[in-house]
Amino acid sequence: MTLAVAIDAKMQEVTVWTRGVTLAKEARDTATLLAKAGKQEGKYVQSFDNYVDLPDRIGVPVKSYARLSPEPIETYYEYENYHPDVVVLAEETLVKGNDILKGAKPGCVVVINTARKPETLIKWISPKAELPKVKALACIDANVLGAGVMLTFDGTEGAGDDTKIGAGVGAAIAGAVAKVTGFVKLESLVDIAENKTAVRQGWENVSIMPLG
Amino acid sequence: MPIKKRGTGLTAVADAWQLADIDVTASYPIRPYTAVMAEVAKRIANGQMKCEMVHGEGEHAQFSIAHGASMAGARATTGSSGVGVTYAFEVYSPIAGGRCPIQALVGDRTLDPPGDFGSEHTDCLTLRDNGWIYGWAENAQESLDNSLMYFRIGEDPDIMLPQIVAMDGYFVTHIAQEYEMPDQEQVDKFLPPFRPQFRLDVNNPVIMGPQIEPEMGPPLEWDRNVVMDRVKAKIAAVTEEFGKVFGRKYAPFVEEYMTEDADMVFLLQGAHAITCRSAIKYLREAGYKVGMCRLRWFRPFPDMALKQILPKFKVVGVIDTNTSYGASGGGGVLLVETRAAVSELANKPMIQGFTSGLGGETITHEEFFKMAEMMRETLRAGRIIQDSTWVNFNDYVEGASEVKAAQQEVAQTKE
């Protein structure tokens, strides 16, 4: 038996792919900033790291998630974002060898932190069968904005993060995501991020390639 | 003033330990317990907490350190997960039998094999015969509140028992949520300092845990048995007082949700209650008269409360997020305990078992719907169709194969 009910139908899911330890904090900050900004705008939100990815292994692909919904989130204790609306790559090489579009919703947006043009990266995105679901591919060269990368274990494994939130490239990526998706307002992000310039620069410098 | 915070079950318990002004904590890393250790270390370094932190060389040492600290009169804490919990097995009975009221945080994790980080209650349930008192929290707030209540109950001079603040790994230990950290003044009012009647003291020597003659053992064991019964009244009183002081009212033993007109209920403990409540909302809209009973304590087992509550219903579906291979009924530990609690009642309901949420899998809405349907089939049949059902493995619900196929599809998207 299965009830024909749509659970969390209006929930927006953001999946941020990154590298274990070396870039984990920045990706977590991207997810945290988007969730916090959503909360500030009156949405129900969650943000958390993937538990199964083993985030203490250096350089392995790991994921951080944000969820925003106009209604209370019912799948509160789900492990992962199974149907992302937005897929973010905090580092460009993740585009190769990872099925980043798995389970993506139709109209999904991909945002990549890279110096390359969207046209040169699209050929790597997989699984290929999911590509028609992608509405736009956006690229932001967050690394050149001078915000830097923070290395810390604080905030991992369920501990509180007492370091600054959104001081590095993660803030610029969050700005780019906000512009491409419209999920949260620029002002909300600026309001909560440590590095407000990075958020604005991410918003301003993202290049968007519409697809489909 | 209480502080609104965003954090996890682990930061919430670290808050409770800070408020309780613990003297000693013994640590050893294992997921998902690890972050409470990191939190406490950070707070000691920041000067927020004054406490001695001793890092063991393993869980056996860790629990032994807390044991020793407690014998010396310290308010001591520790904790672990999964195989870490079982590695310390030898020392649980001595701690409880020695009436050392230490507090352990257990973030549940599966026992090997395979090496899996997900939550299963089996680790903590293996300790059920050792004289510790414990129950499961469903969220961060309840973890914090349980921690404070457990100190108060366990350290009571009439009780003196060790406690486990149990919570589902990942769901409660890792997912950030809103909770309230109480005011220090409130906590000081609720929880007096730990002052045991006897402690290791060179000026007033006592012996703790000596070798004894065979006939000297049973009276001590009788005493442990008696106190386990006595603790129930203490739990009821402290839970009520907690509500008065902090404004959060908990059912002392069993929380009932939408049970007033229910003819069938899910009976479970821990984090999955959150999804269960949401699933019940949809089931009610679809005409199922279903509710939920959530156990707030496992030891002592709330048999008296269940004797009063369960006869109201026709079918009880006990959800076990644990394994007890070869147990009566073929399900898990909760099924055995629940059936035993009401076995001698003339008007007992039909009690069937479900095993679900193993390996740390979320029990999804779909699975709750399916279990409700199986309970309805039991209700219609007027007899137990199958003692215990491993959800997705031996379902007897009509259309189960389609649901299974749909789930395999979902599993593929999960990898």
pLDDT digits (tens, 9 = 90+) for B224-239: 999 999 999 999 999 9
A161 interface with B at CB cutoff 8 Å: no
A159-188 per-position pLDDT tens digit: 888 899 999 999 999 999 999 999 999 999
Site from B18, B275, B380, B401 to mutate, A interface, most A CB atoms within 10 angstroms: B275
Site from B40, B117, B170, B374 to mutate, A interface, most A CB atoms within 10 angstroms: B170
Rounded to whole angstroms, how far apart are CA atoms B65 and B61? 6
Residue-level pLDDT at B73: 97
A158/B42 touch (CB, cutoff 8 Å), yes or no: no
3-state helix, strand, coil in chain B (%, to 5): 45, 15, 40
3-class SS at B414? helix
B398/A1 touch (CB, cutoff 8 Å), yes or no: yes
Which residues of chain B have a CB within 8 Å of the CB of A39? none
Rounded to whole angstroms, how far apart are CA atoms A73 and A9? 10
Which residues of chain B have a CB within 8 Å of the CB of A5? 282, 365
B11/A78 touch (CB, cutoff 8 Å), yes or no: no
Residue-level pLDDT at B406: 61
* DSSP strand pairing (B388-390 vs B350-355): parallel
B289-338 per-position pLDDT tens digit: 999 999 999 999 999 999 999 999 999 999 999 999 999 999 999 999 99
B275/A158 touch (CB, cutoff 8 Å), yes or no: no
Fold entry, domain A12-210:
Pyruvate-ferredoxin Oxidoreductase; domain 3 (3.40.920)
Residue B231: both structure tokens together? 């603790």
B359-389 per-position pLDDT tens digit: 999 999 999 999 999 999 999 999 999 999 9
Residue-level pLDDT at B28: 97
Q: Identify whether the C-beta of residue B104 lies closer than 8 Å to the C-beta of residue B63.
A: yes
Q: How many Cβ atoms sit within 10 Å of the Cβ of residue B193?
A: 10
Whether pLDDT at A58 is above 70:
yes
Residue-level pLDDT at B301: 98
3-class SS at B273? helix
* DSSP strand pairing (A61-69 vs A12-19): antiparallel
A2/B398 touch (CB, cutoff 8 Å), yes or no: no
B370/A75 touch (CB, cutoff 8 Å), yes or no: no
| ipTM of predicted assembly, 2 dp | 0.92
Residue-level pLDDT at A112: 98
B166-187 per-position pLDDT tens digit: 999 999 999 999 999 999 999 9
Within chain A, residue ranges assigned H as helices are 24-40, 118-121, 169-181, 186-192, 196-205
Chain B, 108 to 137: residues with Cβ < 8 Å from chain A are 117-118
Of A47, A78, A157, nearest to B362 by CB-CB distance is A78
pLDDT average, residue stretch B252-278: 97
Alpha carbon of B298: minimum distance to chain A alpha carbons (Å)? 22
Rounded to whole angstroms, how far apart are CA atoms B295 and B148? 18
pLDDT band for B139, please (50, 70, 90 cuts).
very high
Strand segments, DSSP code E, in B273-374 are 290-295, 315-320, 350-355
Q: Identify whether the C-beta of residue B270 lies closer than 8 Å to the C-beta of residue B168.
A: yes
Rounded to whole angstroms, how far apart are CA atoms B341 and B328? 14
Chain B, 347 to 366: residues with Cβ < 8 Å from chain A are 360, 362, 364-366
Q: Identify whether the C-beta of residue A87 lies closer than 8 Å to the C-beta of residue A95.
A: no
Chain B, 156 to 185: residues with Cβ < 8 Å from chain A are 170-171, 173-176
Rounded to whole angstroms, how far apart are CA atoms A72 and A45? 8
Lowest mean pLDDT among A72-81, A121-130, A165-174, A177-186: A72-81
Q: How many Cβ atoms sit within 10 Å of the Cβ of residue A101?
A: 20
Q: Identify whether the C-beta of residue A27 lies closer than 8 Å to the C-beta of residue A17.
A: yes
Residue-level pLDDT at B405: 66
Which residues of chain A have a CB within 8 Å of the CB of B369? 1-3
3-class SS at B353? strand
Which of B145, B124, B73, B63 has the alpha carbon at shortest distance from B96?
A: B63
pLDDT average, residue stretch A130-151: 94
Alpha carbon of A115: minimum distance to chain B alpha carbons (Å)? 30
A1/B10 touch (CB, cutoff 8 Å), yes or no: no
Minimum Cα–Cα distance from A55: chain B residue: B31
Q: Identify whether the C-beta of residue B132 lies closer than 8 Å to the C-beta of residue B97.
A: no
Alpha carbon of B23: minimum distance to chain A alpha carbons (Å)? 21
Average model confidence (pLDDT) across chain B: 95
Half-sphere exposure of B21 toward its Cβ, with a 13 Å CA cutoff? 10
Q: Identify whether the C-beta of residue B187 lies closer than 8 Å to the C-beta of residue B148.
A: yes
Alpha carbon of B242: minimum distance to chain A alpha carbons (Å)? 26
Half-sphere exposure of B233 toward its Cβ, with a 13 Å CA cutoff? 6
Residue-level pLDDT at B388: 96
B270 interface with A at CB cutoff 8 Å: no
3-class SS at A135? strand
B186-221 per-position pLDDT tens digit: 999 999 999 999 999 999 999 998 899 999 999 999
In percent, the amount of chain A with pLDDT more than 70 equals 99
Strand segments, DSSP code E, in B221-342 are 254-257, 264-268, 290-295, 315-320
Which residues of chain B have a CB within 8 Å of the CB of A49? 174
Which residue ranges form the domains of chain B, and what is each CATH number?
3-246 (3.40.50.970), 254-414 (3.40.50.920)
Cα torsion B318, B323, B325, B330 to 10°: value is: 20
* Per-domain residue ranges of chain A: 12-210
Residue B138: both structure tokens together? 């469903």
Alpha carbon of A68: minimum distance to chain B alpha carbons (Å)? 14
Structure letter (DSSP) for residue B105: E
Which residue type sits at B21?
D
In percent, the amount of chain A with pLDDT more than 90 equals 84
Which residue type sits at A71?
E
Within B208-249, residue ranges assigned H as helices are 217-246
Which residues of chain A have a CB within 8 Å of the CB of B173? 158
Q: How many Cβ atoms sit within 10 Å of the Cβ of residue A84?
A: 26
Q: Identify whether the C-beta of residue A87 lies closer than 8 Å to the C-beta of residue A111.
A: yes
Q: Identify whether the C-beta of residue B193 lies closer than 8 Å to the C-beta of residue B133.
A: no
Number of H helices, E strands in chain B: 15, 14
Residue-level pLDDT at A157: 86
Of A7, A79, A162, nearest to B365 by CB-CB distance is A7
Residue-level pLDDT at A6: 87
Chain B, 39 to 78: residues with Cβ < 8 Å from chain A are 39, 42
